Structures are given as structure tokens and as C-alpha cells.
A = this chain, B = another copy of it.
Amino acid sequence: MKLYSNEISSASSRVRIALAIKGIAPEILSVSILGPDAENRQRDYLALNPQGLVPALLTENGTLITQSLSIVEYLDERFPQPPLLPADLEARAFTRTVALAIAAEIHALVPPRVAAQLGSLGLDANAIGDWNRHWIREGLGAVESLLNGRRSGRSGRSCQYVAGDTPTVGDLFLFPQAINAERAGLPLALWPNLAEVVNNLRAVPAFAENAPAPRR
């Protein structure tokens, strides 16, 4: 397997964390996604992946798998230990819901191509920054409500991570997004449950070592 990735991409970070948890180390190829040389460096990659987005996983059969949650589910089905989904059906649904709330209600609204489209409508960098912070704030507020309703669970005790005492898919999505929220000037203290989960994840090497790099 080969992973096409970018060090600043939070979607790539989710997959790198999953690989680290599974103890799998495919070749990782870095694809430029920003800056003036991105177009040239990407030409080979675009022949493989017309959308040019990362992450993408190339299997031994030559199949390219895109979309981070699809890659993570594939890895979890192919390499079941340690599992990235709980056993209980409702807990599985819950951690997937957290992942999707982040992917579809935050990350989807703030990638470079959306910023470019807003720029073409006349928004300046400050207005685009406000747009990004708006969706991060709204979206992490929704995740906080989800966590608040679930973390104490049947045992009466809060679990360490999104859906139990081992990290699951929701944690893979939450951690990089939380790091980016802090970089955008939004302190995690705004969302106490979420902040506690993220602080617990900072102590897990698979997470700490695969956080998205800051933009230079």
C-alpha cells in the first residue's frame, strides 16, 4: 500500500493516526496542496487522482481509495486489531456521527478550494478567516452537545475518548480539527467535554505524532 498525504492536511492526519494505531507503515508520498508549485508537483498525482485531493490510499491491487472515512473503514475491515469502532451498534453509530459531523459540517466548509471560491466572490482574507471560524465554532459546538449527551454512558462514569476508553473513528476526526481550531484562535475551553477528550488524546503517541503540521 501507498498513502498519498500532506503534512498540513487534517484529513491526511486522520488516516495517518489510524495507520499508527494499527501499526501499519505503508510508503507515504507527500503531495503539495498549497503554494505556487503545487500545480506542477501535482501533475503526476492528477493522472492517478483527477481531483488531486489527499489523502488517497493505493492498494496492492492498484485500486485508489479516496475520502478519509472510507479509507479508515477499509483499514479497519482489513486489519481488525485494534478496532477503530466499538462493538456495540449504537456506540459504533455514535462515533461515526462525530466523525461525519466534523467532516461534513466543519471540514467541508473550510478547505482551500472553498476559500478560493469565496475569494472569487470578493471576500478578503479576513472575511474568509471569519467564515472558517464561524463553521468551526458552530460545528464544534454541535460536537460538544453530542459528547455531553453521551460521555457519561451507562456506567455513570465519563469515558476517556469519544466512544469509550480506546480511540475510535470519531477521535481520529476530532483531534486534527481541534488542533486546527486552536490555530484559528478558538480555545478548546469553549467546549469542556471536547477539550477533555482532546487532552486525553494528546497523551496517545499515535495522535501526538500525527497531528497536522502548522501552515508556514
Are A70 and B96 in contact (CB-based, < 8 A)? yes
Contact of A127 among B71, B89, B121, B146 (CB under 8 A): B121
Interface residue range, chain A: 35 or more
Q: How many copies does the complex hold?
A: 2
CA–CA, A107 to B109, complex, Å? 11
Query: Do B104 and A114 touch (CB < 8 A)?
Result: no
A78 touches B89 (CB 8 A): yes
Q: A89 to chain B: which residues have CB within 8 Å?
A: 74, 77-78
Chain B neighbourhood of A200, CB < 8 A = none
- Which of A94, A104, A105, A127 has the most chain B CB atoms inside 10 A of its CB? A104
- A20 CB, nearest partner CB in chain B, Å: 20
How distant is the Cα of A73 from the Cα of B77 in the complex, in angstroms?
14
Task: Say whether A97 contacts B70, CB under 8 Å.
Answer: yes
What is the interface of chain A, defined by CB distance below 8 A to chain B? Answer: 50-51, 59, 61, 63, 65-67, 69-71, 73-74, 77-78, 89-90, 92-94, 96-97, 100-101, 103-105, 107-109, 114, 117, 121, 123, 127, 131, 134, 142, 145-146
Q: List 16 A-B contacts (CB under 8 A).
A: A50-B142, A50-B145, A59-B90, A61-B90, A63-B93, A65-B94, A66-B146, A67-B96, A70-B96, A73-B92, A73-B96, A74-B92, A74-B93, A77-B89, A78-B89, A104-B107
